[in-house]
Amino acid sequence: MGYLYYAEYLHLFERSRSEYIREMGMSYAEVERLGIMLPVREAQCRYRRPARYDDLIHIRAGIAEVRRASLVFVYNVMDAERKTLLAEGMTEHACTGRDGRPVRPPEWFVKLMRGEPFQIPE
């Protein structure tokens, strides 16, 4: 068919989410090392136009909402040359400790996700 397999969009979301966190000032691995786990609770993708193999695409990720013990990322997948929307999606993540129990995101983490200056407590 020459089209990007539908499940690959979730991989694109995951990679762009990791890059988003890195661009905010910390790697995903560092966040986990500090005790914050972000398992996916829900994922959605609305396909608008097909991405073809060899298309140059651009993925924009951002935080839509930080809740009491969860957060929501949103994504836009764009055709970089035609500037058209190919897909949009969201992932909702529980915020848990290493033991898997829900935790309120610490202040430094909320600031990190919003792109605000943050300081990790010692």
From its phi and psi, is residue 75 left (phi > 0), alpha (psi between -120 and 50) or beta? beta
What percent of the chain has pLDDT above 70? 98
- What CATH number does the domain containing 42 carry? 3.10.129.10
Mean pLDDT of 97-115: 95
- pLDDT at position 120 is 82
Closest CA to 13 of 47, 54, 53: 47
Q: Is the separation of the CB atoms in 76 and 60 below 8 Å?
A: yes
Mean pLDDT of 91-103: 98
Q: What residue type is assigned to position 55 of the chain?
A: D
Residues 40-65: tens digit of each pLDDT: 999 999 999 999 988 999 999 999 99
Q: What residue type is assigned to position 64 of the chain?
A: A
What is the number of structural domains in the chain? 1
- pLDDT at position 1 is 67
Which domain covers residue 90, as residue numbers? 7-114
Q: Is 76 inside any structural domain?
A: yes
SS3 53: coil
Q: Give ∠ CA 60-40-26 in degrees, rounded to 5.
A: 55
pTM score, whole prediction: 0.91
- pLDDT at position 119 is 87
Chain centre distance of CA 68: 18
